[in-house]
Amino acid sequence: MIAVGGGKGGVGKSFLVANLAAVLARDGFRVVAVDADLEGANLHTCLSVPAPPRSLADFVAGREPDPVKLPVETPIPGLSLIAGTHAHLELAHPEGARRTALLRGLRRIPADFLLVDLGAGNEPVFLDYFLLADEGLVVLAPEPTSVENAYAFLRAAFYRRLRLALRSHGVQELVAEAMDQRNERGIRTPLELLREVEARDSREGARFAETMRAFRPQIVVNQVRSARDVKLGYSVRSVCRRYFGVDADYLGYVSEDPAVRESLRARRPVVEIHPRSDAAIYLRRIARKLSRSAGGGPAVGGSR
Ligand SMILES: Nc1ncnc2c1ncn2[C@@H]1O[C@H](COP(=O)(O)OP(=O)(O)O)[C@@H](O)[C@H]1O
Ligand SMILES: [Mg+2]
């Protein structure tokens, strides 16, 4: 399960999910693309499924309790879609344990890869997908506003994970306090918070450090125009280390390419209609890195 988030709208999350899913499916994996952006669902359009008969909204609203029945076929063999359409405005993801159960239910879907497209913003439900996934991709574009939102998203995800990991009430309160950036203790970064927790409670300190190690976001820079834009991924990685004490990976980048807009107009992934474009080359590179880190090639016959 790979969740794709990043805070800002328009950076290319849906584009990335549609294209990585298409590459992995063409490589012989069974892939399901999931549109968790119920308010701005458009993955179905990127994948040429104009009117999906079922969607994640049916699952969230309880109309379809079996997640295995949600995927619908796309024109690409091996790639199916859980659309995000038909959500009513008042439809909200359930809270707490029921939400976790719901998200875990998606894992029962028989597939090699589940790619989840998260909406913009730091909604708790998006953070939960991000934290529950095996890989969390943070997409950013080389613009200050996008970089800012990517950090805000990472920070929110990190603190959410931390609050779920810690047991002692006192330390949880300390974390809640530290999340306010003007807190009176002068805790400015998660790393400073770790020092404070360690001083107070060594077992919680150890849990905290463990949580930091387990949090390993993957950075993708999209719409790259220059060598300087490419380097952005490295600087985000080093800020993650200094600020969060977290090792992020720079998974890759995708160039800005006119073929992308053209492919969207055709409602098809760019890797399908312009496989030799620059964007397609970089997208395949990222997809293959993901399949390698997930443990190799598809099973013969396509069922695993
Ligand atoms: N690599 C790229 N090259 C050119 N245009 C791109 C690229 N990536 C995204 N875009 C443009 O940005 C728009 C927003 O992408 P989208 O995937 O919908 O963003 P998000 O899902 O993050 O809101 C697309 O409609 C497309 O026109
Ligand atoms: Mg989108």
Residue 231 burial (10 A CB sphere; 0-12, 13-18, 19+): middle
Residue-level pLDDT at 297: 66
Structure tokens at 91: 């439809």
**Residue 304 confidence class, pLDDT cut points 50, 70, 90:** very low
Ligand 1 pocket member 9 (CB < 6 A):
yes
Fold of 2-144+219-302: Rossmann fold (3.40.50)
Judge whether 139 and 172 are in contact, CB under 8 Å.
no
Compute the average pLDDT of residues 218-225: 98
- DSSP annotation of 256 reads -
Residue-level pLDDT at 3: 97
Ligand 1 pocket member 253 (CB < 6 A):
no
- Which atom of ligand 1 sits closest to the CA of residue 261? 27
Higher-pLDDT residue of 94 and 66 is 66
Ion ligand 2 neighbours, Cβ < 5 Å: 13-14
Residue-level pLDDT at 189: 82
Q: Give the closest residue to 18 by CA, choosing from 35, 38, 39, 36.
A: 35
Ligand 1 pocket member 15 (CB < 6 A):
yes
Exposure of 59 in the CB half-sphere (CA atoms within 13 A): 27
List pLDDT tens digits, range 69-90: 999 999 999 999 999 997 776 6
Residue-level pLDDT at 303: 38
Ligand 1 pocket member 263 (CB < 6 A):
no
Judge whether 80 and 72 are in contact, CB under 8 Å.
yes
List pLDDT tens digits, range 245-284: 889 999 999 999 999 999 999 999 999 999 999 999 999 9
Residue-level pLDDT at 184: 80
Residue-level pLDDT at 1: 96
List pLDDT tens digits, range 100-148: 888 889 999 999 999 999 999 998 899 999 999 999 999 999 999 999 9
| Strand ranges of the sheet holding 135-140, from the earlier edge strand across to the other edge | 72-73, 79-82, 31-35, 113-117, 2-5, 135-140, 218-224, 249-255
Ligand 1 pocket member 47 (CB < 6 A):
no
* Residue 31: strand, helix, or coil: strand
Q: Within the chain, where are the H helices?
A: 13-26, 43-46, 56-60, 96-105, 124-132, 144-165, 169-179, 190-200, 202-214, 227-239, 258-265, 270-273, 278-293
Residue-level pLDDT at 299: 54
* Averaged confidence pLDDT in the chain: 91
**Residue 302 confidence class, pLDDT cut points 50, 70, 90:** very low
Ligand 1 pocket member 12 (CB < 6 A):
yes
The Å distance, Cα 41 to ligand 2 centre, comes to 7
List pLDDT tens digits, range 150-190: 999 998 998 888 888 888 888 888 888 887 777 788 887 88
Domain boundaries, the chain: 2-144+219-302
Residue-level pLDDT at 173: 86
The Å distance, Cα 16 to ligand 2 centre, comes to 9
Compute the average pLDDT of residues 187-201: 86
Does the pTM exceed 0.95? no
What phi, psi does 135 have (nearest 5°)? -130, 140
